[in-house]
Structure 1
Amino acid sequence: LIPISLVVWFLIMKVQHINLDPQVVLAPVEQISVLIKQKIGYDILNTDNLKSVISWAPQVGQMLMGGITSLALNIFVLIFVLYFMLLGNDKMENYIMDILPFTEKNKLTILHDVNMVVKSNAIGIPLLAVIQGAVAMLGYYIFDVPDLLLWGILTCFATVIPIVGTALIWLPLVIYFAIIGNWWDAVGLLIYAALIITHVDNLIRFVIQKKMADIHPLITIFGVIIGLPLFGFMGVIFGPLLLSIFLLCADIFKREYLENNNSSSKTHIEGL
C-alpha cells in the first residue's frame, strides 16, 4: 500500500503541472510526425490514423476507469481481510491446519513450503521490480532521459509483464532518441539495456531464489497471465502465489497418496 500510494501521489503531482493547452500537447507529436515522415516517408498524422485514434479513445478511457476502480476495490478488500487476519491469525492458521487432509509430517512440510512460496512471490517479485527499476534509472540518468523518475517507476511496473518486461519502456526511449537524431544516447541506452537491465533480472532472481523458494520463471509468467484477469493489478502477486500453492498441493497429494499406494502395492506383490 505504501509504494502504491507514493506512486499515485507522484502521478498526481505530475498531472497538476501538465499544460492542457491543445497546441502545447500536439506540438511534440507533430514534431515527431515530421521527423518520421522525413526519415521513412510515412505520415502518422494522416486522416485514417487520426480516425483510428479517435475510435480507440473511448475504449482506452473505459479501460483506465475500470482499472482504477478494480485497484481501489482490491485495496479496500486487502485492508478488510488484513484486519481479520491480524485479529485472529492463530485461529485461522490452526483451523486450516486441522482441515488439511495430510499427515502431521506433510502438514508441517506444506506450512514451511507455503511460507517460502509467499515470501518468494509477495516479497521477491516487488523487490526484483524495485532493483531492476533502480538499475534502469541509472541508465536513464547516464543517457539524459527526461523525467527519469517517471520512466524508472514505469520500468518497475513493466518488470512483471510477461515476455516483454522492461523492453516495453526502454525500447520506445531508444526509438525516440534515434528519431530525434541523438544516436549516441540511442545506441548507448540500447547497449546498456540489453546487457545490464535485461540480465540483472536473471542475476537478482537467482539470488532471491537462493534466499527464498526456488520458483521457476514460467510459474511467474503463467501466474501473472492467470492473475491479472482475475484480480486486476494485484494479480501480479496473487497469480504466481496461487499457481505455486496449487503445484505444491499437487506434489503433497502425490507423495501422500499415490506414492504410498504404489509402495503398498509393491509390498503386497512381493509378499505374494
Structure 2
Amino acid sequence: MMSACPDPLWPSYRAGARLTVDLDAIASNYRYLQTLASGASCAAVVKADAYGLGIERVAPVLENAGATDFFVAHVDEGIRLRSVVSEKARITVLHGPRPGASADCVRYGLRPVLNSLEQIALWRDEGSRTDALPEAALQVDSGMSRFGLSDADLETLQADKGLVDGLKVGLVMSHLACADTPDHPANQAQKDRLLQMSARLPPAPLSLSASSGIFLGTDYHLDVVRPGAALYGIAPNRTGPNPLSPGFFRTFRDDVF
C-alpha cells in the first residue's frame, strides 16, 4: 500500500533536501572569533540573507552573542536588516550607495562603503541635502583589484582636499585576496599597502581581515575584523582541522511512494 502523499503545493514536498540551521553554533562561532581577535572589534557579515540561512533569524542571534557591527552587500539588505536588529546596531553597506540610494542610507542609518570617486561625490551631494550626514567608510584597493580606491584616486583626493573635507570617515578598509593560503606573500603585501594608502586618508580605524584573515594572526586584525563564512562554520583554510562548529547541515529526502 502506498502511503498518503503530502500536498504537492507544499514547498517541503517539492524540495529534495532539508536544511537545518544551528543558531547556537552560529552564536558560538561568533564568540570564538571574537575571542580570537580580542584586540579588535568583531563585526558580523550577514550579506545575501545571512549567506542564505535567513537574516531575520540569524542577525538577532548574533546581536545577542555580542555583535554590534553588521555588514551587508547592498542598501536593500541594510534596510531589511535594520528592521530586525536594535537601533544601536551599526550597519555598513559594502557596495556603497548606488545613484538614488544615498537618501535611504541616511533615512535608515546605514554606513556606506565608498569604493570610488563617483560614490564619494554621490555621498557629498547627499550631504548638501541633509544636516546630519552619517559617517562613511572608505575602501582602498590594496591588491585584490575588485573594489576600492586606487592610487590614482588617492592622488585626486590629495590634490582636491574638498572631495573629502567634511566627510565623517569612520573606517578605512580593504580585503585580502589570498587569506585562505596563510603563507601567501600577497597577505603581507596587502597589509603593507593598506597601511601606506590609509596614511593618505583621514585618520580612521582600519579593517583588512574577513573570515580567513582572522586566522593569519594578530598582525592582521588591526581595528575591525569582518567574519562572514566563518560564522556559519565554513573552514577558514585547508591547513588543519576546522575549529568552527557547523552552522547548518542538509538531510536528503529518502521517502518514496
Same fold (TM over 0.5): no
Larger fraction in helix: 1
Structure ID, larger Rg: 1
Question: Greater strand share, 1 or 2?
Answer: 2
TM-score range, shorter chain: under 0.3
Structure with the greater relative contact order (CA < 8 A, sep ≥ 6): 1 or 2?
Answer: 2
TM-score, scaled relative to structure 2: 0.23
